[in-house]
Chains A and B, each alone.
Chain A
Amino acid sequence: MGENTPFDEMYNADGSVREPYRALSEWLAEQPEKGLALMQADAEAIFRKLGITFAVYGSEEGTEKVIPFDVIPRIIAANEWRKLSRGIEQRVKALNAFLYDIYHRQEILKAGRIPEKLILNNAAFCPQMMGLEPARGVYAHIIGVDIVRVGPDEFYVLEDNLRTPSGVSYMLEDREAMMMLAPDLFQRSKVAPVETYPENLRRTLESVAPAGAGRNPVIAVLTPGIYNSAYFEHSFLADQMGAQLCEGQDLFVDGGKVYMRTTTGPERVDVIYRRIDDDYLDPLTFRPDSMLGVPGIFDAYRAGNVTLVNAPGTGIADDKAVYTYVPEIIEFYLGEKALLNNVPTYNCTDVDQRAWVLENIAELVVKEVHGSGGYGMMVGPTSTKAQHEEFRKKIIARPDNYIVQPTLSLSTCPTHINNDVAPRHVDLRPYVLVGDEVRITPGGLTRVALKKGSLVVNSSQGGGTKDTWVLED
C-alpha cells in the first residue's frame, strides 16, 4: 500500500503485458490512428441515444450529464475474480447475519466485540426494525461493494453500500455499448456475461416475497421521482425486469396491504424495490414531512404483507464507523478470517490517533462518516495546503464526524485520453444480489478518475466508467 508506483493492470513493471490483457493489447495495436477517437465519439452518441444521464448536485450547468465512458475495457482474470467473489460472498453473508443479530438478540454487543454505543446511538440504527423477521432472514438484498486494487494479489474493500447502491445500469449499458463498438474484441476473448443481472434481480426479489404472495409476486420499483440523480436507473431496471415503476403517490395501503394504482384498478404489490432513503420512505413512521414515501408502508411491512428491499436500517452495517469492525463481524458470525482486506482506518476521537492524523494529513484521506458520492472528502496528496488546514479544523471541531485512511495507491488501467492511451486510476463496484442464494454479477462497474493522478473516481467529481470484463477459463 502507498508505494510510489501504482500497480498497472495491463503492464508489468518491465513493460511486458500481463496475461489477461494480451488480447486487448494486440487489438489496441491494430487500431488505426484516430480509431479510438472515432469509437469514443460513437460511444457518446450511443449513450445520448440511450438517454443515460445523471444529475450532479450543486453544478451550475444543466442538471443532466452523460457520464464519460472510456472505450478501453478493464479486464479481470478468471482466477482473480474467483478469489474476489469468494471474499464478497463472505462479506455479504456476514453483514446480513450481523443485521439479523443487531435487530434481534444483539449477541455481538453482549459479547463486547463491537461497542454497544456505536450501534445503539447510531443514526443509521433503526429501532423500529427490532424483532422483525424479514423473508429468508435477508436485510440487504442488493449490495454494491466498493473495492480497490493495489497489487497483483491485493484488494481492499472501501465501502459495503448496503442501503440503495446505484450505478448498476451503467454496468449494463457499458457492456451493451462496448459490444456495439468493438464486436471483434469480444470474439477474441471469453467474457462472462453481465446481461443476466435484471433477470437475477427479478429472481432475487421474487424469492423474498412475503408468504402468501403466490407464484408470481408483483414487484414494484419505488423511485423518489424524475429529479433524483438515479431516476434513469430506476426506470431502466423496472423496464428490464418487467416491474412497475412507481412514485410514492402511485402506491397506497389498504387493510394493512400495499396496492398500486393502475388503469384497471388497484393491484396488490408484494415486493417493493425501493430507491427512496429510509427517512423518506414512510411519513407515518419516519420523517412526517416526507412527500416522497407511502404512508403506512412500513407498518404493512411489519405486518408481513409486503417486502421492502433493501430493508430499512441496513445502513447500520455500512456505517463508516462500523466498517472498521467488519473483519470482526465476519469472524463472529462465520468463524472465518476475512478474505478481503479492510483499509486501515484511524479513529479521530482517540487523542493519540488524532494527533498523528493532524500531523500527517497531507498523506491521508479524510471522509465524512455519513458522506457519500465523494462529497465532503479530502485526498491529502492531491489537495492544497489550505484544504489540509480546512480539514484539520473540521476534524478538531468534530472528531467523530470523520474517518481517516491512508491514501491507497489505486491500480491503473489503460484509458483513452486525448487520442492517446494513458494509465488512469480505477476502482470496482461489483453488484451482489442476496435472496434464495447469493448472486454476484461477474465484474461490476469500473469507475475511472479521468484526471491524471487523481484518485477520486466518483462521477460527481469528474470520473468516468469502463466496461469491466471477467474472463472465463
Chain B
Amino acid sequence: MRIAIDHRLSLTLPEGTGQAVFHLLLTPPSGPTQTVESWSVEGPGIGNAGRFTDGFGNAAHLVNQLRPEGEITIHVRGEVTTRDTHGVLGRPSGEPVPALYRRFTAAAKAPEALYEPFRHSKDNRLSICHALMARVGEELGLPEEPKVPRQMQADGGQTQVQDTGEASEQRPAAADYAHLFIGAARALDIPARYVVGYRVADGEDGLHAWAEAFDEGLGWVGFDPHAQICPTDRYVRLAIGLDAETAPTLRTVPVAEVEQVAKVSAV
C-alpha cells in the first residue's frame, strides 16, 4: 500500500526565550515493512540541523533557533510504501540489542494481576503476546465493533460504518495501551518496545502508538493493543524507544506543549 502522510506540529515557546533547542524524531526508517519513497521535514532551523542516530537507532534532528517568536510549525510530508507482514518486522540492522528493551521504565508499567497468569504459561512467546494484547484490551477497553444497521445489512450492500469517533475518545490514548502491554511483557522477561508512527485513518488523526515484542524466532513483532491487531500495511513506523518519553516526535527546551495532527491516507 502506498501511504501519504501530512503531519503538522505546532508549539509556542514562552516569551523572551533566548535560544530554543528541538530534538526531532520525525524521519521514518525504511525496513522490512516499509519503504520511504519521499520525505521532507520543514520548519525553522531545519536546514542547519544536526543529524544523527539516537541510542535506539532512530534518525534524529537537533535543531536550534535564536529568539523564536510566535507559533512555530514543523511540517512533515512524505509517501511510504508498506507491506503487510502480519506485524513481523524481523531484525533490522543498526538497532541495539533486544535485551535493552527488558529495562523497566516508570512510564511502561503493568499491574501484577495483568501478567501473572502468564508467568508459568507453557505457550510460546508469540501466543503469550497475543494473549497479553487481549488482556490489555479488556483492561483499558476494547475498540468498538463497527455498528452495522441490521436492516441495511439485510438489504445487502450499502453497509455503513457508524461514526465511532465519540465513543473512541472515551478510551485511553493508544500510548497507554502500548505502555501497559510493554510493562507486562517486560515483567515476563520479554523484550518489548514503544513505537510511534502513523496509521491510515481516513478523516481521523493518523498519529498512533503501539508496541513491538521480541520473539527469538521471528525477531520483532508488532502488537497494537489499542486496535487489538498486529500492525498491517496500514501502519507506518516512525520511531522507537523504551516508552513514549524516550521516543517523542518532538522534544523542546524550553519545554512547551506540542500540538500535532497527521493526515494519513492511502494513495
> Hey, which chain B residues are within 8 Å of A125, CB to CB?
103
Residues B253 and A288 in contact, CB atoms below 8 Å apart = yes
| C-alpha gap A110/B97 in the complex (Å) | 10
Most A C-beta atoms less than 10 A away, residue of B23, B49, B104, B242: B23
Report A381 CB to chain B, min CB distance, Å. Answer: 38
Question: Which of A116, A130, A285 is in CB contact (< 8 Å) with B23?
Answer: A285
CB < 8 Å: which of B23, B57, B104 contacts A284?
B23
- Does B251 belong to the interface (CB within 8 Å)? yes
Q: Does A255 contact B (CB under 8 A)?
A: yes
A296-B23, A300-B62, A303-B51 known; A283 vs B99 contact (CB < 8 Å): no
A106 to B101, CA, bound (A): 13
The answer to the question of B168 belonging to the interface, with a C-beta cut-off of 8 Å to chain A, is no
Q: Is the CB of A131 within 8 A of B57?
A: yes
Q: Which of A129, A283, A296 contacts B55 (CB 8 A)?
A: A129
Is A389 in contact with chain B by the CB < 8 A criterion?
no
Cβ of B21 to closest chain A Cβ, rounded Å: 4
A283-B251 Cα distance, complex, nearest whole Å: 10
Chain A, Cβ-Cβ closest to B95: A131
A109–B50 Cα distance when bound, in Å, is 33
Partner of A130, one of B51, B100, B104: B100
Write the chain B residue with the least CB distance to A288: B255
CA distance in complex: A257, B64 (Å): 10
Contact code string A103-133 (vs B, CB < 8 Å = 1, else 0)? 0111001100000110011000101111110
Query: A254 interface residue, CB < 8 Å from B?
Result: yes
Chain B, interface size: which category?
20 to 34
Contact with B along A289-302 (1 / 0, CB 8 A): 00000011001101
A252 x B102 contact (CB < 8 A): no
Indicate if the CB atoms of A284 and B253 lie closer than 8 Å: yes
Tell me the minimal C-beta distance from B36 to chain A in angstroms.
21
Interface residues of B in 14-41 (CB under 8 A from A): 19, 21, 23
A121 near B55: Cβ-Cβ < 8 Å = no
Q: Are B99 and A116 in contact, CB atoms less than 8 angstroms apart?
A: yes
Max chain B CB contacts within 10 Å: which of A117, A121, A130, A299? A299
Provide the residues of chain A in CB contact with B23, threshold 8 Å: 284-285, 296, 299
Please indicate the chain A residues that have their CB under 8 angstroms from the CB of B103 in the complex.
120-121, 125, 127
Which one of A106, A254, A296 lies within 8 Å of B97 (CB-CB)? A106
Centre residue among A132, A253, A296 by max chain B CB count within 10 A: A296
CA distance A285 to B99 in the complex (A): 22
**CB-based nearest A residue for B255:** A288
Q: A20 on the interface (CB 8 Å rule)?
A: no
Determine the interface band of chain A, counting residues with CB < 8 A from chain B. 20 to 34
With A109-B99, A120-B99, A255-B48 already in contact, the answer to whether A128 and B54 are too (CB < 8 A) is yes
Question: Which residues on the A side are within 8 Å of B253 (C-beta)?
Answer: 283-284, 288, 295-296
Contacts of B21 in A (CB 8 A): 253, 284, 295-296
Interface residues of B in 96-137 (CB under 8 A from A): 96-97, 99-100, 102-104
- A299 cross-chain contacts in B, Cβ below 8 A: 23, 50, 52, 60, 62
| Cα distance, A104 to B100, chains bound together (Å) | 10
Residue A169 at the B interface, CB < 8 A? Answer: no
Among the listed B50, B56, B252, which residue makes an inter-chain contact with A256, where contact means beta carbons less than 8 Å apart?
B50
Beta-carbon contact of B50 and A257 below 8 Å = yes
Interface check A235, CB cutoff 8 A = no
Contacts of A252 in B (CB 8 A): 19, 64
Whether B260 is near chain A, meaning CB under 8 Å from some CB there, is no
B53 within 8 A of A: yes
A127 touches B99 (CB 8 A): no
B25 to chain A, nearest CB (A): 11
Closest to B19 in A: A252
> Chain A: which residue is nearest B191 at the CB level?
A120
Any A CB within 8 A of the CB of B228 = no
Instruction: Known contacts A254-B48, A296-B23; decide if A130 and B62 are in contact (CB<8 Å).
Output: no
Docked pose: A370 CA to B60 CA in angstroms: 32
CA A129 to CA B255, docked complex, whole Å: 23
Which residues on the A side are within 8 Å of B99 (C-beta)?
Answer: 106, 109-110, 116, 120
Please list 20 pairs of residues, one from A and one from B, whose beta carbons are closer than 8 Å in the complex, sorted by A's number.
A106-B99, A117-B102, A127-B246, A128-B54, A128-B55, A129-B55, A130-B56, A130-B100, A131-B53, A131-B94, A254-B64, A255-B48, A256-B51, A257-B50, A284-B21, A284-B253, A295-B19, A295-B253, A296-B253, A299-B23
| Interface residues, chain A, with chain B CB atoms under 8 Å away | 104-106, 109-110, 116-117, 120-121, 125, 127-132, 252-257, 283-285, 288, 295-296, 299-300, 302-305
- Leading 8 A-B pairs by shortest Cβ distance: A256-B50, A303-B52, A295-B253, A299-B62, A130-B55, A130-B96, A295-B21, A296-B21
